[in-house]
Chains A and B, each alone.
Chain A
Amino acid sequence: MNNSNHNPPRLATQFLRWFCAEDLIEEIQGDLEEAYRFRAKSIGTTRARIWYFSDVLKFFRPYSFEKYSRTKQYIPMVKNYFKIAVRNLIKRRGFTALNLLGLSIGMSTVLMLAIYLQHETSYDQMQPDSENIYRLVNNYRDQTYTCMFFNDYYGSDHETQMRLLQHVTNYEEVSVGCHFVPSHSSIGPNEDTYVSIGEKKFVMKDFLYTNTGQEFNEMFPQEFLQGSTSSAFSAFDRVVLTASAVEKFYGTDWDKLSLIGNTISLGDKLYQIGGVVRDVPGNVHFDFNMIVYQKSIPSWGAYTYLKINKEANIGNVISALNGEVDLVYPGYTEDVLSKGIESVPLHDIHFTGGMLYELKPIANNAYIITFGFAGIVILLIIWTNYTNLSIAIYASRQRELGVRKLLGARMKDVQLQILTEAVILTLVCFPIVWLLVYHGLPTFNDLMEVEMMREQLFQSRILMFLGFILVLTGLISGLYPAIFFSRKSLNNLFRGKLNSLGVSRFWNFRNTLLTAQFFMLVGLMSITLIIKNQMSYVQNKELGFDKEGVLFFPISGKENFHRLAAELRKLPEVLNIGNGMVPGAEMYNQLTYKMDGTEEVLSDGTHIYTSLGSMEVLGIKSDAFGILEEQDSVLLINQTAAAKLAKVKGIPVNELAGETLILEPEWENEQFGNGQHYTIAGIVEDFDYFSLKYPSQSLLIEVRSNPEWIYNVILKLESNDWLNTISFIESAYREIEPDRPFNFTFLDDHLEQLYKKEQNAGFLATFLTGVCIILAVMGLIGIVGFVTLSRQREMGIRKVFGASVYDILLTLNRSYIAMIALATALAVPVSLYFGSQWLNNFAYRIEPNYYHVFLAGVLTLFLVAVVVVIQSIRTAQINPSDSLRHE
């Protein structure tokens, strides 16, 4: 008889089994099959099959579904599951502790990353109607300035400073406009200030200067703890302090005092306290300790913001403004270098790179993606780990499951039990994870230089996210064992040997998961190695100047500089004194230049105004310095500029000296006709004036023996007693500059600061790798213990046939070697891709290499071998007679 016709159609049967209640299936299927056979004999198989289909379809109705089923003895034994789960967790104390530890560390990391990503992506979202706020930016030459300038620059009076805002707020689309300058921005005064209250004197920084206080508060509302908008901004020369500034001045009990109207002096100027506000959250694109509301802003320009009405279109406002720009800035349209005003939405400020003078470091999308990716990787590792571990646990609990089934538990009951147990374990983690993150947040803030608030952790959003992700983790880790063990027949469960899980097959589910885990581990580790190598490359690269023992600090003006220099020359520790150029600058405005007698104008020149002293401090040498004995200044260019100019002029580089260079040729003047004419005195070797993130720029260095414009002091020191030397310098400084705090920086610290963000990424990557290693090791301990146990007898037999302890260990390790090799091979392209993405931050960079990934692979292998050997050495040493007598 044809077998396929002998049985009823399988498709229909499967459908029936899928929808039919478990306790009805036997009788229904039996009846249908009997009917099928009966009909097959009487009317033929074909028609019987059709009948069978129709019968099955007719059963597809509520009667057959679970809740209508005949026997309603089913009571979910959830209480029992809890009891058994808790007993099991307590019974395997060590295992549970290991599980909890791994889970908590991993989950805390995931939560921390989630909060960090939320923080980074939530910049400026909290301002009311933030989607209607725009910042005005100005295009000049080839660069975009994040601030607008005032018509008379530094010399602008109040009316001139307000001219742009007054013009723009006349448009009916614009509801408010404000501008400000933070003191420590690129365009601010950039120096620390003495703040005195009564007798007490403090060194303070981060002031926000504005003369549009009301408007500022309307656009970026501050929460007043004392005072109000009217007390703060009703008259000029008021200051608004943040809570932490007030705490510094008045102690923690400040809220018992009434501070409004108190007098406070900044430097030598008097102000009234107009209000106390809450600290600025970390995810705002500006920061301040104090708002200084005064008639004019101490800068040549200001960061300018507009808020437009809901229905208005910013494009119209900007084009109207550009159309009438000459009313605000006379001569703007005639100036070929001014390329128009644009706007940047408030939400985009934190993500818009490539503009000059941004207030805070912008978010790096590569980082956000990388850290998001790392979070997912850790989550995947946790999931694979706990799937693996729970398979191992239930493999040794098969008899228990068997008894349950024997006593009437259905597939669903077993699944429910396994899932309940898994979720209980993960939910136990909830308070642990929360507390870990709560206490770890300040450290994380310090490390990553962000200001995330602990209050965030109380938000229901965060709590729900944590709960959701933990329950999900429980469900996912229990899913495979739940399906796998609930489907096993009673017989198999009772006979349940540990190795009935297909351990003999190499590419079983568990080993696939392990390989995936090794892949992620190797990937993350090799990216960390790449980051570390690049950072040490950056730190050790020859910069082309001397950075050891170089110290610099601000000073006001020529006269003070010379008085101080005279004092400092008495110190034997001071080798050189100069002023001007300090390497490690952020990019600033570039200017145009060309060779005399050629047409092509280059626009990427960086002009440096410095003293001969600073060149000596930095150890930059040139033959041209000799000329300075006869004349006031020389112009040097670096090799990058020389190469470009030589190409334009069509002469070899070494013939450039003596040629005439014109800076800003579009500027018409009486002295030269066009631009400013210089004679190239010499060429200096390239040195890294900017951060290594940027490629070498064309430097046009104006070196003066006695500069007119002096704003800092730069010293080369050699000392055996730094503390003493510096305190001597400080006391000399105090004599000459009584109103300015002595705020010095060592050049090597300053250079390191340039890579702070990259350095932080390195820390975070190392930390994440550490977490992954801990998780992987914990997972391995569980798995290896289980596998060696299940292979105990095999090892016994091997020993009987003469295998040594070493052979046994090798056998146990062999499979991991294969998995790690595969994982490393898979990690190569992924790591190299992400590694080079990160390296793109740098113009000077190492090449990511296979070597990094292989090193990571070898490290992983070593780690795994150690874990396996420790876990299995006992099995390897066991007397075969013991392990074989097992049953």
Chain B
Amino acid sequence: MKQLGYLEETVLLLIMTMTDDAYGFSVSEEYKNHTGKSISISAIHTVLSRLEKKGLITSAMGGASEERGGRRKRIFSSTPVGKEVIRTIKDSRQVLWSQIPDLS
């Protein structure tokens, strides 16, 4: 079972929601939109590479665009392992959720 930190978990979730358009800058923007906290692009890159090393996501070079000065982006998508891990986390949380007595 892979251990995931909070940031890693969030980023992994974000990638799953952002089908086909998850790359460094877009993930950092989504993170900001979602959590309201800003994060540097370099921090996102580090997390992405860590996730990739753990085999939870995979990447491929995607299309170039004008605003990137003609440079290609690295598009990330989750692997089956990644999905499995997220599901396990959700399940184990669910068990805990359900045992909270006074959560209306």
Q: Does A29 contact B (CB under 8 A)?
A: yes
CB distance from A751 to the nearest CB of B (A): 82
| A32 partner, pick from B41, B46, B49, B61, beta carbons under 8 A | B41
CA distance A59 to B24 in the complex (A): 13
CB distance from A408 to the nearest CB of B (A): 14
| A27 partner, pick from B52, B65, B71, beta carbons under 8 A | B71
Cβ-defined contact, A27 with B73, below 8 A? yes
Cβ-defined contact, B69 with A28, below 8 A? no
Cβ-defined contact, A30 with B68, below 8 A? yes
CA distance A29 to B71 in the complex (A): 8
Q: Does B67 contact A (CB under 8 A)?
A: yes
With A31-B41, A63-B42 already in contact, 8 other A-B pairs whose C-beta atoms are closer than 8 Å: A26-B71, A27-B24, A27-B71, A27-B74, A29-B69, A30-B73, A31-B23, A35-B28
The number of chain B residues with a CB under 8 A from chain A is 23
Residues in A neighbouring B61, C-beta threshold 8 A = 26-27
Q: Does A256 contact B (CB under 8 A)?
A: no
Q: Does A497 contact B (CB under 8 A)?
A: no
Residues in B neighbouring A32, C-beta threshold 8 A = 25, 41
CB distance from A840 to the nearest CB of B (A): 66
CB distance from B82 to the nearest CB of A (A): 17
Q: A37-59, CB under 8 A of B: which get 1 and which 0?
A: 11000000000000000110011
B residues sitting closer than 8 Å to A (CB atoms) are 23-25, 28-29, 40-43, 45-46, 49, 52, 61, 64-65, 67-69, 71-74
CA distance A7 to B28 in the complex (A): 21
Residues in A neighbouring B71, C-beta threshold 8 A = 26-27, 29-30, 33
Cβ-defined contact, A59 with B42, below 8 A? yes
Q: Does A70 contact B (CB under 8 A)?
A: yes
Say yes or no: A33-B69 contact (C-beta < 8 A), given A27-B74, A63-B45, A63-B46: yes
Residues in B neighbouring A63, C-beta threshold 8 A = 42, 45-46, 49
Q: Does A559 contact B (CB under 8 A)?
A: no
Q: A55-72, CB under 8 A of B: which get 1 and which 0?
A: 100110101100000100
A/B interface sample: 27 pairs, CB < 8 A: A26-B61, A27-B23, A27-B45, A27-B61, A27-B71, A27-B73, A27-B74, A28-B24, A28-B45, A30-B64, A31-B23, A31-B25, A31-B41, A33-B67, A33-B69, A34-B65, A34-B67, A37-B67, A38-B67, A55-B40, A58-B41, A58-B43, A59-B41, A63-B42, A63-B45, A63-B46, A64-B42
CA distance A35 to B69 in the complex (A): 11
CA distance A306 to B67 in the complex (A): 85
Cβ-defined contact, B49 with A31, below 8 A? no
Cβ-defined contact, B25 with A35, below 8 A? yes
CA distance A37 to B66 in the complex (A): 10
CA distance A30 to B70 in the complex (A): 8
CB distance from B14 to the nearest CB of A (A): 15
Name the residue of chain A whose CB is nearest to the CB of B67: A37
Cβ-defined contact, B72 with A30, below 8 A? yes
CB distance from A386 to the nearest CB of B (A): 39
Residues in B neighbouring A64, C-beta threshold 8 A = 42
CA distance A31 to B42 in the complex (A): 10
Say yes or no: A70-B23 contact (C-beta < 8 A), given A29-B71, A63-B46: no
Residues in B neighbouring A59, C-beta threshold 8 A = 41-42, 45
Residues in B neighbouring A34, C-beta threshold 8 A = 25, 65, 67-68
Name the residue of chain B whose CB is nearest to the CB of A59: B42
Q: Which of A7, A27, A33, A70 is the most central at the interface, judged by chain B CB atoms within 10 Å of its CB?
A: A27
Say yes or no: A26-B72 contact (C-beta < 8 A), given A31-B24, A70-B49: yes
CB distance from A373 to the nearest CB of B (A): 52
Residues in A neighbouring B23, C-beta threshold 8 A = 27, 31
CA distance A59 to B52 in the complex (A): 18
CB distance from A65 to the nearest CB of B (A): 13
CA distance A64 to B61 in the complex (A): 18
Residues in B neighbouring A7, C-beta threshold 8 A = 69
Residues in B neighbouring A58, C-beta threshold 8 A = 40-43
Residues in B neighbouring A55, C-beta threshold 8 A = 40-42
Say yes or no: A30-B69 contact (C-beta < 8 A), given A70-B49, A70-B52: yes
